[in-house]
Structure 1
Amino acid sequence: MSRRTLVDHFQSHRLDAAKQKLLRDFAALPAQNSAAAQLFVTHNRDKLRSAFTEIVNQFLLAAIDNAAPPLPMSLAQAEQLAALFRKVHHEPAPWQRLQLVQQFTHAQKLQKLEAEYLMFVGDTLRDKQQAIGKYQQALQLYQRLGDQPGLAKAYFDLGDSYSVIGRKKESLLALQRSLALAGALPDPFRAMWALLVMGNVHADLRDYAQSDSAFRRVIALSQTLQNRKLEAHARSGLGRIYNESGRLLEAQAQLRQALAIYSNLEEEFEQARVLRMMGLVERNLGNYAEALKLQSTALATLQGLQHPKPKQEAAQYTIIGLVYNLLGQHELARKYHRAAYERFKACHGRPADIAAALANLGETLVYLDSLPQAHACLQEALQQIAGPEDAAVRAEMFQMLGDLKLKQRDWQAGREMFEQALQINAEKGFTANLILNHLGLGQFNLAGRSWEAADRDFEQAIALAANSGITAHIWKGFYGRGRALKAQGRVTEALQQYEAAIDTIEATLTHLHEEGSKLGYFAEKQDVYDETILTYLQEQHDAVQSYNFVERAKARSFLDQLHGGLEIVNRIDALNPNQPNLTLLSLSASASPRVEEIQAALGEHDKIIEYRVLPDRLAIWVVDRVHVTSTQVNLRREELRRLVREFRRTAGADDFAAFSRRWNQDRDAAFQDFLAVAQRLSALLIKPVWQHIRPDQNLYFIPDDLLHYLPFAALTLPGPDSTRFLVEAVPLATAPSAAVLKYALERGQEQGNSARLRVLAIANPEDRSGRLKALPWADQAAQFIMQLSSTGSKLLVREQARKEALLQTLQEPFDILHFAGHCSVDVKSPLYTTLYLASGLQREAAASSASGAAGQAEYGAAHEHLRMYEVFRLNLRKTRLVVLSACNTALGQFAMGEGIVGLPRAFFCAGAPCLITTLWAVDARTAGNVMEKFYLNLKTGGHNVAGALRNAQRDEIARIRKDPVMRFHPHPYFWAPFQAVGNSYYVQFNMPSNQPESIAQNH
C-alpha cells in the first residue's frame, strides 16, 4: 500500500464540528485525570470513542508527513484520554494505535500502518468473506513484523468472522491462536474476548461442556479486572447454553444476573438482548404468557434506543409471532410475522433472515388453514436463499414444504420436497437434518400405505441418530417403525419398537430439570403411550401390561416432587423471591411403580378404577390386591370431552350466573337437564365396571383427561335406580394416579391412626378492601368444628387469619388443617393460585387476584396471602388431613399426561396424605352444612375421611329431597363439589367418648 493511499484514506476521515467540540471540552477540563474527567468519559462514551478513533488517524497522518496538523487536543491529552478509557471501561483497543506514533522506525511504520489499515477496512466490511481476506493480508504483515499484539487481534477477528459465516472449526482454530498469544503477552482483555467468542462457537456446535468452561473463565477474569460488561456477556452466554440444554432454572439465574449488570451500566441494547433470551427460557418452560411479556418488553426497549437497530427489531417481531403461535393466537402471530418480513426487507436484511420470516409466516398460515398462501410464502422463501452458504436453510424450506404437502395429502409432491431436502443435507453432511428427512419420508410412506418403505426410512433415521449421538428425535423413529411393523401384522416386533420409543422418551425426561419443560415434552408424546396401550389391549389382550403403560403415561413430575422431599423447598427458596419460577422442579426420575407394586400397597377391601381416554375409545381397568381386569367402550375422545363440559354446564360448575337463571326459572327442567347428561356419563363410565363395585369396598377412581373435572359422586346409578347418585350406594375417593395413591397410602401407614382431633381452622379471613365477600357460614362452621375438636386446636378467624399468624401457628403439629375462605385459581401460572388471608391493604386483594405475571410485577413477594408455591415450603408431614373448603380448590392448569396442576399437588408434596377439595364454586350455606356433618361424622361416627364425607353428602341429599323450596331436587351444584383425594379410607380419628368438647378447653 502506498504512502499516498494511506494519506488519502486518513484525510477522508476529518473531524466534524461536534466531535471537535467534544474533544476541546475534554482538553479544557482542569484536571484530565480527575473524577470529573472520568464522569465526562462515562457520559460521552460512544461519541468519544468515535471521535478518538478519527483523531488517532490524524496523528498517524501527521507521523507519516512529519507534520503537526491543527487538532483540538495535543498528543499528551490524547494519551490521557486513552488512559481514562482503559481505567473506566477497561478497553485498551483501539487506543493502542497511539503507540504507532512513537514506537516504530520509519521503515517499519508503513507496514504497520498498512496492516492497521487492512484491519480497519475489514472491520467496516459487511461481507464477512471479504473481511476475512483483509484480515488474512494483515495477518501476513503482522507475521513479518513479529507483531504479537497485532497477530492476536488478527486471529481474533478472523475467528469471529469465520463464526459468523458458519465455518465453526476454522473459527475455533483462529480463536485458540489468539487466546494463546493474548496469554503470552499478557493481554487479559483480548483473552476474555477470545474466550467469549469461543464459548459461543462451542455452543453453536452443541459442545456445551466446552462452552460452559469458556464462559466461566471469562467470568473469573472479568471479576478480577472488574470488567462488568464482559461478565454480563459471559453470563448471558451461560444462560443461552443452559436454556438449550434443558437446565432452565440455571439459565434464569444467569440471565437475571446479566440483566442486572446491563441495567446498572445503562446498556439498553444488551438489556433487550437478555430480555429476549429470558423470554425464550419462559417459552421453553411452557410459561407462554410470561414469555410474551418479556419479548414485548425487549421490543419496546429496542424501539426506544437512541440509535435504531432495525434488524434486531425485525428479529424481535419474529420471536413474538412464534410465541403467539404457541398461545394459539394465530391471527396475531400472522400480524407479527408479516411485520418481521416487511422490516427485514426495508432494512435490507440478509436473504436468510428474509427467508426465515417468510417461512414463519407460511407456518402460521398453515395453522390458519390458508394452505395456498402458505405454499406461496414458502416458495418465495426458497427464492431468497440461492447461495451455497444458505444450503441448510434451503433444505429446511424443502422440509417445511414437505410437511405442508403432507397436510394437503399430496403424497408425490411432498415426497419430492423431502427428497430434495435429503439430497442437500446428505451433500453437506447435515446429519441432524438428515434424520428429520428420513422421519418425514417415513411419514409419507405410512400415509401412502407403503409399509416396508416406511420401515426402511425410520430404520435409517434411527441408525443415523444412534451413530451421531443426535438422539432428540430418535423416539420418532422407533414409534414410526412400530406403526409400520404393526400394519404388516408383526405385532410383537411393533411392541418392541413402541417400548424402545417410550424408554427413550423417559430417559430424556430424567434430564429435564423443570416441570414446565417436562410437562411440555411429555404432553406431545402421549400418542406413543396410547398406541402401546391399545396394542396390548386389542392385539395381546394383556390387561396387566397395558395397565403398566397407563401409569407410565403420567408425566411423573408429580411423583418426582413427592419423592423430592425438602430438596424441592430448597430449590424454590433459591429462586428470586420477587419472581418465583412459574413451574415446579422435578428432582428425580422416579420410575412409575409396576402393577404388582401397586397391588401390594392396597388393602384387602381397596379397589382402583382407572380410566384412559384414547382417541377413539375409553379404556377402563379395575385393580385390587389380586386381579387386574380391563374393558373398553367405543367412545371418541372429543365426544367424552363434550359430555364432561355439558355435565359441568348443567351442574352450574363453570357459569353460575347462567345456571342460577335457569334454576330460578324452572327447577324441574334444570334438574332434568343435569340428570340426562349424568345418566349418559354413568352409562359410559360406571355401567361397564358395575359388576366389580360393591358397597363394602374402598373405591378409588383415577380419572384421565377432562374426567379430572368430574365429581364421580354425582354420577347416577346404572339400571332402574338412575335417579339416585353413586355416592348414595358406595363410598368413593379419587387420586391423580395409582403411583400417587401408593405414596399416599404409605404416608398414611407412617402416621398411623390418631386418638385426637387437633384442628387448625382458618375461617372467613377479613378483607377490608371490600373486593371479597364475607363468609359468615364459614365462621359458624369453624366454631362448630372447634366444639368437636381436641385440646390444643386453634381457630384463626376474620382479622386473626393473617399470613404471619398462620405460618407461626403451623410450627406446631395439627391433625387437620381446615381452610374456609376465598381461593383464586391461576390456570396459566398455577404457582400463583392463591388462598386469601386477612389483609388490611386494598392493593393486596387487587394484586393477588391478578394473573401470575401481572401479580408479580405489581405485588412481588410482599403479599399477605398464601400462594401455591409457598405451600411447598410448609411442613405438613404430621398433618393427616387438609380440608380446602373454598371455591375451585381442585382446579388448576390441565396438562396432557399429568392431569391438573394445582393446590392439591402442593399440599401432597408438603406431606399431607389426604385432602378434601372442591371442583367448583361452593354454595356457602350448603358448604357449611356439609362441613359440619363431615366433622361430626369424623368425631362421633367412627368414619374414615371418605365415609364421613359420603355420609355428609347423603344427609344433604336427603335434606334437599324434603325441601319444597328446592322442588325436592337434590341438584349436585349444592352438595357435589367436595371430593376426597388420596388416602381417604385409612385416615380416621379414634376418639374416646369422654373427649373434652368445650370451646374454653380448646382455646
Structure 2
Amino acid sequence: MIRKILVFTLPVLLLSTVVFAQEQKILQDSMQYYFNKGNFVTAIFWAEKNVAALKQKVAVTDTSYIAAMNNLGESYFSNGNYKEAKTTFKEVITIIKNKEGEKSAAYAMQLDNLGNVAEKLAEWADAENYFLSAVKIQKEISGEDNVAYANYITSLAVLYRLQSKYTEAESLYLKAGAIFKNTEGEESADYLTFKNNLAGLYYATGKLALAEKTFIETAAIKRKVFGAESFDYGHTLSNLGVVYYVLGNFLAAETVFDKAISIFEKTTGDKNPQYALTEGLLASTYQQLLEYSRAEKLIRHQMSVNEITVGKNSAEYATSLNNLAFLYIKSGKDSATEMMLKESLETRRKLFGTNNTDYAITLNNLALYYTRKKSFTVADSLYKEALSVRKNISGETNQDYINLISNQCELYLLTKNYAAASKAALKNLAVEEFLLLNKLDFLTESQLIAHVKNNETPFSMPYSSLAHYNLPDLLKAAYNNRLLINGIAIQNTSVLSKEMLQSKDSITVNLWKNYKSNKSLLNKTLTQPVTARVINSDSLADVTIQQEKDLMHQSESFRNIKEKFNITWQDVRNNLAPAEAAIEFIRFKEIGNDFNYNFYYAAMVLRPKDSVPVFIKLFEESALKAALKSFAYKEPIVTRSGKPINKIPSTKNTTSGVYHLIWQPLEPYLSNVTTVYFAPDGLLHNIAFAAIPGKNGSVLCDTYSLIQVTSTRQVAIKDTYQKPPASIALFGGIDYNKQSADTAGIVKPYQYSYVYQQSRSSAPDSFVYLPGTLKEVAGIKKNMDLQKKNVSFYIGDKATEAAFRSLDGEASPEVIHFATHGFTIPDTATKKNIGSVFKISDNPLLRSGLVLAGGNKGWKGRSPAGEDDGILTALEITAASLPNTQLAVLSACETGTGELRGSEGVFGLQRAFKIAGVNYIMASLWQVPDKETAEFMHIFYSNRLAGKSTRQAFLTTQQFMRKKYPPYYWAAFTLVQ
C-alpha cells in the first residue's frame, strides 16, 4: 500500500565559478521543493536541467553529479516512470562501483533503489537479490542500529508483503520501526512510513481494526508534522479510505478519497500514479453507491494517466482495465468487456504469475461476465481457479473469499444445482460469521449497520438455497445466523452503554461523559438546516465516532463481547415450553434468470422437539404489498397524531390476503402450539399480527399468545423483570403551546439550546390538546401511589424535554410512559425538499419523535432563546442512557413505525429506546384513538401492578380489549423485546 521512498539531500556544490554555483543551487532547490510537495513532473523537469548543467561542468564521478542523477532517478520513480528510473539508477551504480567499489554505503543505497524499481516492474527475484545485498552490505559497514539498515529491511518487508509472505514481512517491519523510533523519534518521516507500512500489512492480513486504528493515528501525526495539504497526509488518507471501503462504509470512504484526491491535485497534479490510484478507488466507491456514470468518468481518466505514466503493460493499467470491465458488468453494459478482462488477466499473469491477489480478482470478474452470458461451465471453472488462488494466498477467512463463494453460489442457483449451492452457502455463512464476530469489538453502530447491509447478498444465499434444497446443516447454520445478525448493532451499542455505566475507571467514565455530551450536541445540531448551523456537524461526527471507538478499546469487558452473542438455535429450542414455538421471519433476495434480484419472505419455525429448524418459503414481496393495500386499520378518528380527523375504518375481514400469505402456510407446523415467539423482518414489522384475520371471523390472538421479539434469541434469555415496577415517570396532559422554565425545580434548560433556535421552519399544522392523556397518566399515578411506588409526574407545561433528560443514567426509572402526540414522517417526504429539517432529513431518527411541552412553537420554529423546541426526536433519545428502564410505553400515534433497514428492523422511536438501553417497548403501528388508548393503558397497568409480568399484562389487556372493541381500537399496540 505504501512504498518506502528515499529523498536525497543534495550536497553543497564547491565549484570555481560562483555564478554557476548559484545557478546549480537554484536548480537543486527547485527540484527539492517540488519533490517535497509531491509534484514529481515538475521535479523531473528541474532534475533533468540540473543533470544536464552538471554534465557540462564536472566529471561523472563528481559527488554533485552522482547526487543529481540519484535525485533524477527518484523523481522518475515517484512519478511512475519506472523504466527511466531503472536506466538512471543503473548508470549511477556503475559510476559508484568504479569509484568506491561494492562495499560502500552509496553502493548499498543504489541496490535498494534498483530493488524498488524491480519490484514495481514485478521482477521479484531481482528485487529480492538487490534488497538482500543492500541489507548485507549496510550491516557489514555500520551494523543494524542505523536508519539506512532500517530502510533496506523495510524495502525487503514491502516485497515480502506483496508476495503474501506476511510473517516475514511483519518481523522486518517491526524491527525497522524500533530502529526508526530509537534513532529519529515517533514524528520522523521514516517512523511514520513504518506506521503506514504496518497498517498496510494489518489490512492485507484481515486485521481491519488494527489497520484502521494505525492509519488514523498516522494520519493525525502526518497532518501535524507535514500539514493538511501535504502529499504524505493524502497518501495515508487514501489508505484509510481502502479500509472503510472493505468495511462497507462507502460514504466514509468517499469522503476520505475525495479529500486525498484534492490534496494530490494541489501537490502533484492529476497526471500522477498516486492520483490515478486514488481516483480508481473513488470510482469503485461510486460503483458501490450505484453512481455508475461518475465511476466510469474517473476510471477512464485513470486509464489515460496510467497509459501516459507507466504504459499499457503495467499493473496499474491492468487494474484500470479490470475496473472498467467490472463496472460494465454491474451496470449492464457490454462494450468490449470480455476483451478488457482477458487483457487485464494476461498482463497480471505476466507481471505477477497466477498465485496473486490481482490475478484472482480478474478471474472472478471474468467468471461473473461469463455467468451473465450464460456460459456457466466456463464461469464455474474460473470461480474454482479463483477460489484456489485466494485460499492459497490468504486462506478462507477473508471477505474476498466470501464474495467469491457468494458468486459461485449464485451460479449454482442459476443452473439449478441446488445441492452444490447449499454447500457453498454453508461455507459462506461460516466465514461471514467468523469475520463479523471479529469486527464486533471495533465497529461503531453505523459501521456495523453498513457492513451487514453491504453483505446482503452473501447473507441471502443460505435462504435462496434452502428454498430449493433442504440441507440440515445449512438450516441450523441459517437459524444461528439470524440469531446473530438480527438487531446486532442495537445489541452492540446497548452492551457498550451498560459496560460504560458500570465502569469504575475514572478515565473511561470521563471519556464516556464527553462522548455523550458531544453526541447530544451533534444530534441537536443535525436538527438545523445546513446553512444555519454554527457548528460543523461533519467534524463533530468524526469526533464522536473516534470517541466511540476509543471507548470500545478502553473497555476490556467490551472487547470480549463475542461471548454475549453466543446463542444457538439449540439454546432457543431448549428454552421453549411444550406448547411454544419460535419463528424467525426472513426477507431475502434471490437472483432470477434475467439476473435481476427479487425479494422473498420465508419463515424458520422451531419447536421443542425439533432436531432441526423447519424452513418454509412464503411469498414474493410484491404479493404482500398488494395484500396490504386492503389493510383495514389505516384511517384515524380522534387520534394522537395531530393529523386531520377522518372516518372510522371498516372492520370487515378485508385482510384475509395477509392471512393466506403469512400464516396459513405455517399452521401445519403449529397444530399443538398456543404461544408463538416471532421476529418479523421487512414489511412484516408494519403488521399487527394479533389482528390478522383467521378462520370463521377470528383473529390470530384468539388462537395464539403472540410475543414479538427483535430476535428469537430472547427466548434463551431469562426475563428477570417479573415484579411490579417500583418507579415510573409519566408524561401526559401536555400543553403544546408553552413549557415551564424550571420543570418542578429539578432540571435546567438544555445547555446547547442556542444551537438549534429557529431550526424548524413554519408548518401549517399544530398539535391539539388531548384530554384523554391527562386522564390516562392521572389514573396510572393514582394506582402507583396506592401501592407507594416512586412516581415522577410531568403534565401541562412541565412535560418538557429537560424533564426527560433528568431521567438519564442511574436516575432512570423502571418505566417511562408517554401519552402524547407522536409522528413518523416517511422517507418519501425527503424527496420534496420542503419544510423543516426533521421532515426532509435522510436520517429516519430525525423524522420520528414525540411532542412535549411547547412543541407547537418548536414545530413552527418559534421557540424562545434558551428553550428546548419541545420535539423529542428519536435521534435525541439515542443519546440517553436508561440502564434501569425495563419498559418504555409510547402511548401515541405510529410510534412503532419508521424506516425499515434489513436485519436491523425499524429505524424510529422503537429503535431509539432500545439503543438507550430499554428492555421492552410498547409502541403503536397506526394512529391510535385517544379515549380507547387511555382505557388500554389503564387495564395494562392494573394487570402489571396485580403481579403479572410485562408480557402477561400486555396479552391479558389485548384479550380484554378484543372482547369489547374491533381490532382498530386495540391492535395497533405491540410489545417488543
TM-score normalized by the length of structure 2: 0.67
Q: Is the 8 A contact 1:606 1:625 kept in 2?
A: yes
1:360 to 304, 307, 323: 323
Is 2:888 the partner of 1:882? yes
Secondary structure of the residue aligned to 2:114 is helix
Is 2:287 the partner of 1:325? yes
Task: Tell me, in whole angstroms, the C-alpha distance in 1 between the residues paired with 2:876 and 2:171.
Answer: 33
Aligned CA distance change for structure 1 residues 110 and 536 (closer, same or farther; 3 Å): closer
Task: Tell me, in whole angstroms, the C-alpha distance in 2 between the residues paired with 1:642 and 1:503.
Answer: 33
Q: Is the 8 A contact 1:618 1:635 kept in 2?
A: yes
Q: Is the 8 A contact 2:824 2:897 kept in 1?
A: no
The structure whose residues are more often helix, as a share, is 1
- Amino acid aligned to 1:438: E
- Amino acid aligned to 1:771: R
Q: Which residue is 1:446 aligned to?
A: none
- Amino acid aligned to 1:157: N
Q: Is the 8 A contact 2:476 2:612 kept in 1?
A: no
Is 2:100 the partner of 1:131? no
Task: Tell me, in whole angstroms, the C-alpha distance in 1 between the residues paired with 2:931 and 2:972.
Answer: 11
Task: Tell me, in whole angstroms, the C-alpha distance in 2 between the residues paired with 1:547 and 1:172.
Answer: 49
Q: CA deviation at 1:879?
A: 3.6
Secondary structure of the residue aligned to 2:61 is helix
- Amino acid aligned to 2:325: G
Q: Is the 8 A contact 1:803 1:838 kept in 2?
A: no
Task: Tell me, in whole angstroms, the C-alpha distance in 2 between the residues paired with 1:233 and 1:649.
Answer: 65
Is 2:103 the partner of 1:145? no
Task: Tell me, in whole angstroms, the C-alpha distance in 2 between the residues paired with 1:925 and 1:199.
Answer: 71
Q: Which structure 2 residues correspond to residues 241-280 of structure 1 after superposition, within 5 A?
A: 241-264=201-224, 265-268=226-229, 269-280=231-242
Q: Which structure 2 residues correspond to residues 692-707 of structure 1 after superposition, within 5 A?
A: 697-707=674-684
Task: Tell me, in whole angstroms, the C-alpha distance in 2 between the residues paired with 1:356 and 1:642.
Answer: 43
Q: Which residue is 1:814 aligned to?
A: 813
Q: Is the 8 A contact 2:199 2:211 kept in 1?
A: yes
Aligned CA distance change for structure 1 residues 960 and 497 (closer, same or farther; 3 Å): closer
Task: Tell me, in whole angstroms, the C-alpha distance in 2 between the residues paired with 1:82 and 1:187.
Answer: 31
Q: CA deviation at 1:682?
A: 0.8
Q: Is the 8 A contact 1:650 1:659 kept in 2?
A: no
Task: Tell me, in whole angstroms, the C-alpha distance in 1 between the residues paired with 2:613 and 2:186.
Answer: 67
Is 2:709 the partner of 1:735? yes
Q: Which residue is 2:61 aligned to?
A: 110
1:608 to 575, 582, 588: 582
Aligned CA distance change for structure 1 residues 800 and 251 (closer, same or farther; 3 Å): farther
Task: Tell me, in whole angstroms, the C-alpha distance in 1 between the residues paired with 2:363 and 2:430.
Answer: 31
Q: Which structure 2 residues correspond to residues 552-951 of structure 1 after superposition, within 5 A?
A: 552-556=481-485, 558=487, 565-566=495-496, 569=499, 578=540, 579=542, 580-581=544-545, 587-588=561-562, 593-603=567-577, 606-612=580-586, 619-626=602-609, 635-640=618-623, 642-643=625-626, 646=629, 651=634, 664=646, 676=654, 678-690=655-667, 697-716=674-693, 718-721=694-697, 725-727=699-701, 730-743=704-717, 746=718, 748-749=719-720, 751=721, 753-761=722-730, 769=758, 771=760, 776-777=769-770, 780=774, 781-789=776-784, 790-795=788-793, 801-802=800-801, 806=805, 809-812=808-811, 814-818=813-817, 874=881, 876=883, 878-884=884-890, 899=905, 912-919=918-925, 922-923=927-928, 925=930, 929=934, 932-933=937-938, 935-939=940-944, 943-950=948-955
Q: Is the 8 A contact 1:526 1:896 kept in 2?
A: no
Tell me how many residue pairs correspond in the alignment.
819
Q: Is the 8 A contact 2:922 2:975 kept in 1?
A: yes
Q: Which residue is 1:400 aligned to?
A: 365
Q: CA deviation at 1:409?
A: 1.8
Aligned CA distance change for structure 1 residues 196 and 800 (closer, same or farther; 3 Å): farther
Is 2:975 the partner of 1:980? yes
Is 2:498 the partner of 1:551? no
Q: Is the 8 A contact 2:730 2:792 kept in 1?
A: yes
Secondary structure of the residue aligned to 2:696 is helix
- Amino acid aligned to 1:257: E
Task: Tell me, in whole angstroms, the C-alpha distance in 2 between the residues paired with 1:659 and 1:683.
Answer: 35
Q: Is the 8 A contact 1:289 1:828 kept in 2?
A: no
Is 2:70 the partner of 1:119? yes
Aligned CA distance change for structure 1 residues 207 and 304 (closer, same or farther; 3 Å): same
Q: Is the 8 A contact 1:481 1:494 kept in 2?
A: yes
- The superposition leaves residues 443-475 of structure 1 with CA deviations (integer Å, 9 ceiling, x where unpaired) of xxxxxxxxxxxxxxxxxx569836974664666
- Amino acid aligned to 1:145: E
Aligned CA distance change for structure 1 residues 696 and 351 (closer, same or farther; 3 Å): closer
Q: CA deviation at 1:759?
A: 1.2
Aligned CA distance change for structure 1 residues 161 and 619 (closer, same or farther; 3 Å): same
Q: Which residue is 1:227 aligned to?
A: 187
Q: Which residue is 1:160 aligned to?
A: 116
Q: Is the 8 A contact 1:788 1:939 kept in 2?
A: no
Task: Tell me, in whole angstroms, the C-alpha distance in 1 between the residues paired with 2:322 and 2:857.
Answer: 45
Unaligned runs of 5+ in 1: 1-48, 86-93, 95-106, 423-435, 440-460, 848-862, 962-969, 983-1003
Unaligned runs of 5+ in 2: 1-6, 35-43, 45-57, 501-507, 520-539, 553-558, 591-598, 740-752, 828-840, 862-869
- Amino acid aligned to 2:714: V
Task: Tell me, in whole angstroms, the C-alpha distance in 2 between the residues paired with 1:490 and 1:796.
Answer: 60
Secondary structure of the residue aligned to 2:810 is coil
Q: Is the 8 A contact 1:611 1:620 kept in 2?
A: yes
Secondary structure of the residue aligned to 1:874 is coil
Q: Is the 8 A contact 1:694 1:730 kept in 2?
A: no
Task: Tell me, in whole angstroms, the C-alpha distance in 1 between the residues paired with 2:204 and 2:267.
Answer: 28
- Amino acid aligned to 2:562: S
Q: Which residue is 1:438 aligned to?
A: 385
- The superposition leaves residues 877-933 of structure 1 with CA deviations (integer Å, 9 ceiling, x where unpaired) of x4432335567665677565665677767766776543324556x558479637733
Aligned CA distance change for structure 1 residues 886 and 161 (closer, same or farther; 3 Å): farther
Task: Tell me, in whole angstroms, the C-alpha distance in 1 between the residues paired with 2:423 and 2:875.
Answer: 41
Task: Tell me, in whole angstroms, the C-alpha distance in 1 between the residues paired with 2:162 and 2:856.
Answer: 50
Secondary structure of the residue aligned to 2:283 is helix
Q: Is the 8 A contact 2:815 2:888 kept in 1?
A: yes
- The superposition leaves residues 242-275 of structure 1 with CA deviations (integer Å, 9 ceiling, x where unpaired) of 4444444444433333333333332513343333
- The superposition leaves residues 943-962 of structure 1 with CA deviations (integer Å, 9 ceiling, x where unpaired) of 4434544565677778875x
Secondary structure of the residue aligned to 1:607 is strand
RMSD of aligned residue pairs (Cα, Å)? 5.9
Secondary structure of the residue aligned to 1:811 is helix
- Amino acid aligned to 1:256: I
TM-score normalized by the length of structure 1: 0.65
Aligned CA distance change for structure 1 residues 82 and 770 (closer, same or farther; 3 Å): closer
Task: Tell me, in whole angstroms, the C-alpha distance in 2 between the residues paired with 1:329 and 1:652.
Answer: 39
- Amino acid aligned to 1:936: Y
Q: Which structure 2 residues correspond to residues 277-426 of structure 1 after superposition, within 5 A?
A: 277-305=239-267, 311-341=273-303, 352=314, 353-372=316-335, 374=337, 400-410=365-375
- Amino acid aligned to 1:550: Y
Q: Which structure 2 residues correspond to residues 414-493 of structure 1 after superposition, within 5 A?
A: 436=383, 438=385, 465=391, 469=395, 472=398
- Amino acid aligned to 2:89: Y
Q: CA deviation at 1:407?
A: 0.5
Aligned CA distance change for structure 1 residues 591 and 497 (closer, same or farther; 3 Å): farther
Q: CA deviation at 1:680?
A: 0.7
Secondary structure of the residue aligned to 2:332 is coil
Task: Tell me, in whole angstroms, the C-alpha distance in 2 between the residues paired with 1:530 and 1:364.
Answer: 27
Q: Which protein, 1 or 2, shows the higher relative CO under an 8 Å CA cutoff with sep ≥ 6? A: 2
Secondary structure of the residue aligned to 2:888 is strand
Q: Which residue is 1:204 aligned to?
A: 162
Q: CA deviation at 1:338?
A: 4.4
Task: Tell me, in whole angstroms, the C-alpha distance in 2 between the residues paired with 1:495 and 1:226.
Answer: 51
Q: What percentage of residue pairs aligned between the two structures are identical?
A: 14
Task: Tell me, in whole angstroms, the C-alpha distance in 1 between the residues paired with 2:81 and 2:262.
Answer: 30
Larger Rg: 1
Q: Which residue is 1:529 aligned to?
A: 462
